[in-house]
Structure 1
Amino acid sequence: MSFSKKFCGVAGAGALSLFAALPAWAQDAAAAAPTPDKGDTAWMMVSTVLVLAMILPGLALFYGGLVRTKNMLSVMTQIGAVAAFAMLIWVIYGYTMAFGDGGNAVISGFGKLFLAGVTPDSTAATFTDGVVIPEYVFICFQMTFAAITVALVLGSVVERMKFSAVMVFALIWLTIVYFPVAHMVWAGNGYFFGLGALDFAGGTVVHINAGVSALVACLILGKRIGFPKEPMPPHSMTLTGVGTGLLWVGWFGFNAGSALEANGSAALAMINTFVATASAGLFWMLAERLNGHKGSALGFCSGIIAGLVAVTPAAGNAGPFGAIVLGAVASIICFYAVTVLKPKLGYDDSLDAFGIHGVGGIIGAIGTGIVYAPSLGGPGDGSVGIGAQLVIQIEAVLATAIWASIGTVIAIFVAKAVTGLRVSQEVEYEGLDLGEHGERAYNP
């Protein structure tokens, strides 16, 4: 046999062996670099847009309808502007502070400053081994959470805080309060995540953070002129009702989207977002009736929000009937926080950001430690008892409240030093629509 024939034979055998090995190589490559599922990716993109709808127009209409006519546009403008500002801050340095590589238990590293290293091909892990979504989608989803959280804080300070002060406050507050808390609760190396604290979609990160900050901010800012002697009823319950509906619809992206996949966990969060909210809306009206009042549209809307807030940390951490009970309990407690506690203490939380988001978030976060138990229909595996889980939940609640309080004091006083914080008496009497923005919500 000639050398050429021998060479061809050896080369052919080698080629065959290479082709035979290709499937194994392909499997190894697939295992090393999982490909995002198109269904999960599509669901997360829809969820992200749903959360955006919670802010604009949802929260803007909900809050805007609750203020007096002369301040309607100022509320909508403040919410829209701080949300837009939060989005820019998030992609510049917020994302890397909360979810960047490395860092410690309180804050992440700065390796992804200005989204360095993020490409259309980079991925973010989900809660299932080997399942990923595009990192840009994860960035956008978490960006909307930062945007709505800082907007929620404004509910306690509307009708008297300068627009410039709102923007300075947002910059400082996001940096020293929201980003670190988001990291501690949701990042793999975060402090509360390591403790095993349960927060499916933002009970501590969003609602306790925003609610406690709202209380601190309104205490420093002071009461509106005429509060509480002058009546200050909502100027449009119709708009507030529309905003409530948009918030409920958008909240499915908020809660079910936090599963990060289109799976059974998302389905559980979806049904819980239905039934806990329905329960809370009805129980608020029942509480009104039992306290000698008529069941009101404002009460129904307030109950809806209280239920949504309470079920947020429990959305994927409770069975449907646990969620129903949690929604009812939170609604009743929030009712008394708004109608009894607030008047008794005399603070001017304009739109009850603390009474609903703060109190409801606390009830939801602590209650999650109970309804998570498999003996009560929750998805837990029973490895951590109710008592032990409650201790973890309470620790997370207290630490978040303290962190938010200190950070808010700093942010408010920085805003005061830079802008003066509060509008003049003339502007407050005239209304912030004209005084701050030169416009009217409605033609005279």
Structure 2
Amino acid sequence: MNKVDINFKELASLQATLKTMQEVDIAEFLIKMEPEKRTIVMTMLPKDVLAEVFAELPRDLKTEVIESFTNPDLKDLIDELASDDLVDSLQELPSNMVTKLLHYVDSDRRDSINKLLNYPEDSVGSLMSVDYVAVKKSDSKSDVLKKISQSPADHEHLDSIFIKDDKRQIIGYFYLADLVRLQEESLDSIIQWNPVKVYTHDDQEKAAKLFNKHSLLSIPVCDKEDRIVGIITADDIFDVIADEIHEDYSLMQGMGTTESPYLETGVFSLASKRIVWLLVLMISATVTGFIIEKYQAVLSSTVALAAYIPMLMDSGGNSGSQSSTLIIRSMALDEIKERDSLKVLWKELRVGLVVGSILALVNLVRMMLLSQVSINICVTVSLTLLMTIVMAKLVGGLLPVLARKLKQDPAVMAGPLVTTVVDAFALVIYFKIAQLLMGIG
């Protein structure tokens, strides 16, 4: 072979090892291998296993596989790929590769694949699989088992068998396990009516919430006429949830999301995802500068006040971020609705008073014991800390709800924005209290 030589003994050992590994582990194993050796190993895999492994590979390795496979091998690979895995692969490959792969898709299957590709990116339709089994209520156990044996659906698509009427509208479902244990031919005793369902143009987040709420392994997908056109499975939803967590975390840190792995993403691409919020925050920080400049007389008369500004701003920013993160999580789980904004404010006000009072009391004792400043400064800083915490809790609780009402992602309000708003208010509160308690003009 060109650069890498594998002897027979090594091949036999490798083949035995591969038989003991899960598809996702094989994919990780292949990613770390040299290209020449990787190609040899992939030819050793059974067709069904190869399809599962291919679906787990990153985009660049999928491209490598497509380019290295002969036409017959590529046709076998396409035939074995589940429809949702094939669509996922097509969506991330360059257009010339998509055209090449579609050439090997059977004509009767190509229509359904093209429909899946045309659904909006974050819709349920783009995520669903058309590999499922739907039967009629009048079918017998033998009829259903025959349809299952003839179906191209994989095991994850056969957990639930769906019941449709003459108009293809879904009316019920039953579990494959219940079918296997069924003693009689009639399906009546195992059918569960009124199934949970989603529609092709629903957002993927809606499906994720339904999976979480009802602890399901699959959900039927219907068109606007309530006709079943596919299913969405839990393994697909895991990816959606992971992507949503990644996106929310990035937004909370003031960054855009990237689809490529960190080490494979260019420097300028990473910079472009971060620079926008950094510029916004840098410019918005001008507000805090103006506030400090406006109250320069207060700082000049009592220089010791300046030493406590970082502590107050950090405490307020952290407190606000805590509240916004908790509210965003609760909104994601549908525990909080937009109409609950007053309830959120009332609860955060009480939490802020409890937390702020404890922090202010501890800070007052700390300053009196350890700091060489007057009692007026101790009280000023501690009272400001209390009011800052309360204000930060209110801002952190309100901004995500406000974002949802404005049809924006609440995660945007969780990190940098909350901190910026709280910093400005904390300074104003600090200097106003100092003027009142210390008689500074």
TM-score (norm 1): 0.19
By relative contact order (CA 8 Å, sep 6+), the higher-ranking structure is 1
More strand by share: 2
TM-score (norm 2): 0.19
Structure number, greater radius of gyration: 2
